[in-house]
Amino acid sequence: MRRETRWLFGVLLIGALAASGGCSGGSAPASGSKALVGGGQRYVLIKLGSLGGTFSFGNSLSEKGAVGGLSALPGDATVHATLWKGNEPMDLGTLGGPNSAVLWPSKNRIDLVAGVAETDQAQPLDETWSCRFFFPSRTAKICLGVVWDQGVIRALPTWGGENGFATTANNLRQIVGWAETPVLDPTCTGRQKRQFLAALWGPGEDEMHLLPPLTGDSTSAATGINDHGQAIGISGACGIAVGGVSARRAVLWENGSIVDLGTLGGEGWNTPMALNALGDVVGFANAPGTPVSNFIPRPFLWTRSGGIEPLPLLDGDDNGQALDINVHKQIVGVSCAGGSCRGVLWENKQVIDLSAHTDGLSGTIVNAGGIDDKGRIGGHSFDPATGLTTAFRLIPAGESGERMGHDRRMGDDDLGMGSSEDRP
């Protein structure tokens, strides 16, 4: 496993949790794999520029085709949130601290980007907080949920504690995530001290709404929202403020109520990652019979009619994560053997290895983090010949604009999209 995947909490989670009882290999490969080896849609890969380090990660794709993620600065000791509207990186900056990142798939067309950023202030309780698992090293700085509105950073308020975390924003200027309260939660472990609760910020800049946990749980966190105001997330205990017991249950908030989405039969790590305009939810959950002390995620799809069901893995793989879904129920994510992952697409109940269907690729696609309704995909690939991990945009072969020049910024029309009204 490469160095950065040991600290990046994933692709979003795979690898980083080795230090906290994380991704335990050794389980039998998941059964029922339906892999598409030949045929099917082909893609053209467009490499995206970096901020000077050896790795850049694409974790999101907006409705305008902009890829969001992070890129390492020279020396690889810090990362900054990065937006690729075209092919060159836009450094989104921080709140004065070392690190920032866009970590979750975010679908909107209003250039509102959600993420996290460190300040220059020290953690008063010496907490690690959720952000730490996504950054190269522990800086002991306060970390907040933020949005970049037309490229300008704005910190989001907390529930009275020091730290926060934002995941995604919709077209109605609603942003979701989680934030600390002043309460010292006895269910916290490790360096984590304060309770945290799911937050919905907006649409006004001063608005903040609580998304409560299930009865009996002390914490909650929101991971996605669509334009109908349906929000998804987790409910559980505090733990280390990432995964594990804090994701005891996957939940959906709608119309003022909370719905338990169920599990795949494992304990903890039940994490929805994204939902589409239809309310279909994707994410990952611990494998059947797996205790919370082990992390063996399996990708899932939840629908109102069918409930929660596992998605197949590539042959020989034993874990994976579904990370995003579009309105056509095309799903992207990763299929992994231990901590070695490949970016995949699920379509019509088949799992597709994107590396085998991509032109212009050097190396392997290791993460497919976001997909839009036109089928374009944002993610990153690793090239063993250069040692570089590079963010990319995949364009379905045949789409206009797929071979645009790599060294200039592209607007909506350059991306082959036209205006939002022109889109099918």
- In this structure, is residue 368 part of a structural domain? no
Domain that residue 106 falls in:
3-28+54-325
Buried b (16+ CB within 10 A) or exposed e, 68-103: bbbbbbeeeebbbbbbbbbbebbebebbebbbbbbb
State mean pLDDT over 253-257: 96
Buried b (16+ CB within 10 A) or exposed e, 303-314: eeeeebebbbbb
Average pLDDT, the chain: 88
- In this structure, is residue 345 part of a structural domain? no
pLDDT at 36: 53
pLDDT in tens, 287-346: 999 999 999 999 999 999 999 999 999 999 999 999 999 999 999 999 999 989 999 999
Position 15 confidence tier, pLDDT thresholds 50, 70, 90: very low
The residue with tokens 């939660």 is 185
pTM for this entry: 0.89
Is-contact 327 276, C-beta < 8 A?
yes
- In this structure, is residue 23 part of a structural domain? yes
**Radius of gyration of the CA atoms of the chain, in A:** 19
3-state class (DSSP) for residue 18? helix
- In this structure, is residue 351 part of a structural domain? no
pLDDT above 60: residue 235: yes
The residue with tokens 């669509």 is 226
Domain count, the chain: 1
CATH number of the structural domain spanning residue 157? 2.120.10
- In this structure, is residue 403 part of a structural domain? no
- In this structure, is residue 409 part of a structural domain? no
- In this structure, is residue 389 part of a structural domain? no
pLDDT above 90: residue 403: no
pLDDT above 80: residue 169: yes
pLDDT in tens, 30-69: 544 455 544 578 999 999 999 999 999 999 999 999 999 9
- In this structure, is residue 159 part of a structural domain? yes
